[in-house]
Amino acid sequence: MNTSSQLCKLINVDLGERSYDIHIGRGLLQEAGKLISNLAPKARCVVVSDENVLKAHGETLGESLTQAGIEFSTLAVPAGEKSKSMEMLNSVVEGLLDAKMERGDLVIAFGGGVVGDLAGFAAAVTRRGMDFIQIPTSLLAQVDSSVGGKTGINSPHGKNLIGAFHQPLMVIADTDVLKTLSDREFKAGYAEIAKYGLINRPDFFDWLEKNRDGIFSNGAALIEAVATSCQCKADVVKEDEKENGIRALLNLGHTFGHALEGATQYDSARLVHGEGVAIGMVLAHQFSNRMNLCDMDTVNRVEAHLKACGLPTHPNEIPGQLPPAEKLLDFIAQDKKVSRGKLNFILTKGLGQSYIANDVPSSEVLSFLKETLET
Ligand SMILES: NC(=O)c1ccc[n+]([C@@H]2O[C@H](COP(=O)([O-])OP(=O)(O)OC[C@H]3O[C@@H](n4cnc5c(N)ncnc54)[C@H](O)[C@@H]3O)[C@@H](O)[C@H]2O)c1
Ligand SMILES: [Zn+2]
């Protein structure tokens, strides 16, 4: 590909007629117009984004679209999880209709996971399904949420309960845009990168341990880390697009993590998703050790790496009071299918040897949580 980026990676998500490419590299935002006009030469576009992303990178994207002769307009939503709401969905859908978008035109989701999930879902339901493109701008969105086609919003009943599987036509991940992301959000996104190593790629986890500095300084290693993460996700999604089986492995660390997010009322001042996942992954390894599945050296190694990356690894690092273990277990049980006191969990038999366990006794989880909260 003829781009100004020094290094550009291309990953294909192989889903038959819904297959698409993920472009990863530096300076790709400047190339977005060209990439889009090659894919959909006559399409008009609506860019859906949030205020922070537009302020930092809106002009670059706008210039690139204009240079490629693409007609576009912009819809801005407030930054933050609250925008994944029915009200905001309505406002985006009406905005798309106001812009006289037709089937064959394109929605561009330009932002973090919030914008990607919201704009992707708006595309899925407007005119019974419009094409859309993901231009993820947070690390979490580049390595996780922009790939795989899960779109949706939150309900008062819980997170992501209203949504659709709707695959994008293309993903453009420019690692340069991550330079304006806060340190905290960058680290949180990194937790999802480490997750892929811990699921089934111990070689990748080794590599991450050795390349931490290059990744955190936005060097070439970051592009490699994003590309490998996208490949890992693409491999899982290809096997199990609608999460009937192995896609659940992507939830490693998320059962404990979601419980902690629920327990802190999704207050991002206390805990952001990736931080919950980091703590959750350590807890999943510790719990696996308690169940005699995973050795203590592995547990210590995982914890040491996440700590070295500046991520929290224990619930007591979350500011403010946490509810008791019983309440955390309630959050877990709400999230998971429970039958006769057994829970579904992603556990591990060692580094990069995760598996889906359907028969975890809730009494064991409760004792483990009690011990954890006491230490
Ligand atoms: N669809 C999926 O498969 C999937 C997977 C994982 C997470 N998610 C969803 O993703 C969401 C979390 O995504 P997130 O962590 O990206 O949150 P986010 O979209 O709220 O972005 C985090 C913050 O960073 C800002 N930001 C984003 N890019 C920036 C940039 N380049 N420069 C400066 N600021 C920037 C945003 O404005 C926001 O304030 C959650 O709603 C979660 O449910 C979805
Ligand atoms: Zn996650």
Mean pLDDT, residues 155-167: 91
CA of 295 to the centre of ligand 1 (A): 34
Neighbours of 66 (CB within 10 A): 12
Residue 139 CA, closest ligand 1 atom number: 16
Residues 260-316 have pLDDT tens digits of 999 998 899 999 999 999 999 999 999 999 999 999 999 999 999 999 999 999 999
Q: For ligand 1, is residue 276 a contact (CB within 6 Å)? A: no
- Do residues 149 and 202 both lie within one domain? no
Residue 167 forms part of a structural domain: yes
Instruction: Give pLDDT tens digits for 67-94.
Output: 999 999 999 999 999 999 999 999 999 9
Within a domain: residue 2?
no
pLDDT of residue 266: 87
Give residue 286's domain range. Answer: 183-374
What strands, in cross-sheet order, belong to the sheet with 170-174? 8-13, 20-25, 170-174, 131-136, 106-111, 45-50, 72-77
The pLDDT of 326-339, averaged and rounded, is 81
Packed helices 113-125 and 86-98: angle between N→C axes, nearest 10 degrees: 60
Asked if residue 3 belongs to a domain, the reply is no
The answer on 173 and 270 residing in a single domain is: no
pLDDT at 5 over 50: no
Between CA 262 and CA 327 the distance in angstroms is 10
pLDDT at 1 over 60: no
**Same structural domain, 127 and 13:** yes
Query: Which domain CATH number covers 53?
Result: 3.40.50.1970
User: Ligand 1 pocket, 192 CB below 6 A?
Assistant: no
Q: Are residues 167 and 195 in the same domain?
A: no
Distances, alpha carbon 316 to alpha carbons 285, 319, 372, in Å: 17, 8, 9
233 and 136 housed in the same domain: no
| pLDDT level of residue 4 (50, 70, 90 thresholds) | very low
Measured from the CB, is residue 145 less than 6 Å from ligand 1? yes
189 and 172 both lie in a single domain: no
User: Count of domains in the chain?
Assistant: 2
Do 101 and 195 lie in one domain? The reply is no
Mean pLDDT over residues 307-330, rounded? Answer: 97
Are 367 and 301 found together in one domain?
A: yes
Query: Looking at 93-102, 226-235, 276-285, 327-336, which range is the least confident one?
Result: 327-336
**Residue percentage of the chain with pLDDT more than 90:** 89
> Could you tell me the distance, in angstroms and rounded to a whole number, from the CA of residue 2 to the centre of ligand 2?
33
CB 176 less than 6 A from any atom of ligand 1: no
Report the CATH number that the domain containing residue 323 is assigned in CATH: 1.20.1090.10
Residue 1 in domain: no
